[in-house]
């Protein structure tokens, strides 16, 4: 079962979280985890706890901010929002990621033509 799912590459989780927050606006950790799972369609093995470590790291870097709030079903939860520095980081990371993906894609195409 685990073989079919890919482990998340180091650093990609940061990007996923940033993009999620950019797209969804302020949301709590559970919401982020759900969203990542939905988009990954069970292809990704996400240990939900690690998302919190990632969130702490991003807060420390000043890319996202956190405030306590109340969830839809009246539960106390911490809401995260992307900051301006985070958007900037997201843009440059996304560009970077696309470039890498592009190169990898071309590389793999090259292989299949042989």
* Distance from chain centroid for Cα 65: 15
Query: Judged by CB under 8 A, does residue 79 bind another protein?
Result: no
Q: For another protein, which stretch binds (CB under 8 A), given 3-11, 17-25, 52-60, 98-106? A: 52-60
Residues composing the chain: 114
Select 12 or 46, whichever has its Cβ closest to another protein: 46
- CA separation, residue 99 to residues 15, 61, 92, 103, 107 (Å): 14, 24, 11, 6, 12
Cβ at position 112, least distance to another protein in Å: 37
The closest alpha carbon to 20, from 44, 42, 38, 47, belongs to 38
Query: Judged by CB under 8 A, does residue 59 bind another protein?
Result: yes
Query: Judged by CB under 8 A, does residue 49 bind another protein?
Result: yes
Select 21 or 33, whichever has its Cβ closest to another protein: 33
Alpha helix stretches (DSSP H) within 1-114: 12-24, 29-40, 48-61, 84-113
List interacting residues with another protein (CB under 8 A). 28-30, 33, 47-50, 52-53, 56-57, 59-63, 71, 73, 75-78, 85, 89
């Amino acid at each position: 079962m685990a073989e079919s799912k890919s482990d998340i590459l180091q650093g990609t989780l940061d990007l996923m979280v940033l993009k999620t927050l950019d797209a969804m606006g302020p949301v709590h950790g559970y919401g982020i985890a759900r969203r990542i799972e939905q988009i990954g369609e069970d292809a990704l093995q996400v240990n939900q706890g690690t998302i919190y470590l990632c969130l702490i790291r991003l807060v420390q870097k000043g890319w996202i901010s956190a405030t306590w709030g109340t969830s839809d079903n009246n539960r106390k939860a911490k809401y995260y929002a992307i900051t301006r520095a985070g958007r900037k980081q997201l843009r440059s990371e996304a560009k970077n990621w696309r470039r890498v993906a592009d190169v990898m894609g071309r590389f793999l195409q090259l292989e299949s033509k042989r």
